[in-house]
A and B are shown apart, each in its own frame.
Chain A
Amino acid sequence: MTAITAIDVRGLTKRFGPVTAVHDVGFQVEAGAVVAVLGQNGAGKTTTIEILEGFQRADGGHVRVLGTDPAQADRRWRSRIGLVLQSTSLDPQVTVLEAVELHAALYPNPRPVDEMLAVVGLTDDADTRIGVLSGGRQRRVDLALGMVGRPDLLFLDEPTTGLDPQARRSLWAAIRELNRSGTTILLTTHYLDEAQQLADRVIVMSEGRVIADATPDQLRARAGGAAVRFPLPPSVSVPPALARHVQDGVLVMRGDVGEALAAIVGWARAQGVDLQGLEVGAPSLEEAYLALTEPDHEQADHG
């Protein structure tokens, strides 16, 4: 009975008046996967996710989430879905423990509340009112409320936006722990490192369409081979042969790594430039993503 495909979307279309926000979108998410949806604001991510969550109706296409059309969502289906919304959505007047207990009671087989608080690192804040917690800790409460029902599928909408690096890392650990226990995760984020850290697969949306659907490594490979990068120190002049590789103060050379290194090292020796900061590696997911979503990579439709 258990569907192996947690999310199945085909030909999904959603219009707002004259604007087509989501245009013929299709993708599948297999049970147990962590999939990140990337895209600029207005790319159609939020609309797509809201249709999957049952908050909006599709205008066309086939949508199944845990085998059910979200437009027909019932209590049973809702008890299998977890949600962490884009911004914290908590009553400031209740304590952490009160909020988690209240939500745990809604589910057929919730996690023990103590265990849940430990997983998100809020044991010491159990009796603190949510309103006086820091933003990072409030986000952990959000995560606890999304996870306490042992969901089969968790939607995470920009879970770590605005958090400090430590808070992000500890939230990532909690998300990974949940995934290991079998929860499928669909994540939206603006942080490419977050996608790289968490996701098995990345779906890139632009102007209401899916423009890439691949593993992070595949996306990086697609953006070209290895590159040599050297952030130029201030007031260093570069010979014309190298100057054409400079973007935003960074010397980036693709193609043959050996040749690129020889050129840079030769120039640096001659000029006495300190090469600290020189890197060799595959393009980052961020570079791959930017290459995909740069305006000149899109089909021109400025007619």
Chain B
Amino acid sequence: MTELPPIAPLLVRQVRYHLRLLVRNPRAMTTGVLLPGLLLFLRGSPGHADEVAGAVAGLTALGVGMLGYASFAASLVTARESGVLRRWRASPLPSWCYFTGRITATVVLALAGTAITVAVGVVEFGSPVHDPVGLALVIGLGALAFAALGTAVTRVIATADSAQPVLMFTYLPVLFLSGALGPVNGLPAWVAGLMHRLPPGALVNGMSATLRGGTLPLGDLAVLGAWGIGGLVLACVVFRWDPVPPSARTAKTARVPA
């Protein structure tokens, strides 16, 4: 019998394929990669170095979340709706390779988007970049956490059309309350504390720390890692491969055969 092709080259091909899909996806490229840098460029000088680092971190978190969570989940729903996921499931490619490729490509592009935003910060406002390796670690883990949660959340999204509202309402308020888009005053202490333990808050904090200097933000990395692992486990349990049948879209009833 002829041997099945080895997995490693297939994985590389998957990463390249998903990178290609992302680069050719205007939603991912604009909101996830280019918009944060543009917003930073437009906002004018944030002030002294710490404030610059905060602004860079906040807008980068906006982009990483848009790319890793919102756009990731929306295109996963589209792939499910259009039968693309079913085709992959029917192919000899192990499912984990598909998702590993997809998530890895998202992490790579998130790093590229971060590089652009940070470059704008450095060139325009002289942003500090103290620990680039730590920064990459925070962004990589953050994008992974977002993508894992984005995979899990597709369970409750019925159609591609309903993806944006669900994703925006679960992401933007959290991002806002995390202070990523500017200082938020008068939050109850427990809300502020909670925000530090959610991915956007940990991402902004961890990123600010690596830009400004100081020790590696292990606490924030732990939060992001925990959400990443939790999201992946949840995704494995709840993920649905097939489109939600029209009969089940409004009332969440048992599946009825077509």
Contacts and interface: CB of A to CB of B under 8 A. Distances in A.
B258 to A, nearest CB: 6
A78 B17 CA distance: 21
A108 B91 CA distance: 12
Contacts of B9: 105
A87 B84 CA distance: 10
Contacts of B94: 75
Contacts of A103: 91
Interface stretch (A16-24, A218-226, A263-271, A289-297): A16-24
B17 A94 contact: yes
Contacts, number: 88
A61 interface: no
Interface of B is mostly: loop
Given A83-B87, A108-B4, A42 B258 contact: yes
A149 B24 contact: no
Contact of A107 (B5, B13, B86): B5
Contacts of B86: 55, 85, 89
A16 B245 CA distance: 14
Contacts of A78: 90-92
A145 B4 contact: no
A129 B90 CA distance: 23
Interface in A1-51: 16-17, 19, 21, 41-42, 44, 46-47
B258 A94 contact: no
B20 A94 contact: yes
Interface of A is mostly: loop
B13 A89 contact: no
Nearest to B16: A102
A47 B5 CA distance: 31
Contact of B257 (A47, A75, A76, A89): A47
**Of residues A76, A81, A86, A102, which shows the largest number of chain B Cβ atoms within 10 Å of its Cβ?**
A102
Interface size class of B (residues with CB under 8 A): 20 to 34
A88 B93 CA distance: 19
Interface string A98-142: 100011011111000000000000000000010000000000000
Contact of B84 (A19, A91, A129): A91
Contacts of B242: 55
A42 B79 CA distance: 25
Contacts of B13: 102, 105
A5 B13 CA distance: 35
Interface in A124-172: 129, 145, 149
Interface in B214-249: 242
B255 A89 contact: no
27 contacts: A16-B254, A17-B254, A19-B257, A44-B257, A46-B257, A47-B257, A54-B90, A55-B89, A75-B94, A76-B92, A78-B90, A79-B4, A79-B92, A81-B90, A88-B82, A89-B86, A90-B87, A91-B79, A93-B21, A93-B25, A94-B24, A98-B17, A98-B20, A106-B91, A106-B92, A129-B24, A145-B87
Interface of B: 1-5, 9-10, 13, 17, 20-21, 24-25, 79, 82-84, 86-87, 89-94, 242, 254-258
The 8 closest A-B pairs by CB, nearest first: A89-B83, A108-B2, A93-B24, A79-B92, A78-B92, A21-B257, A83-B90, A89-B87
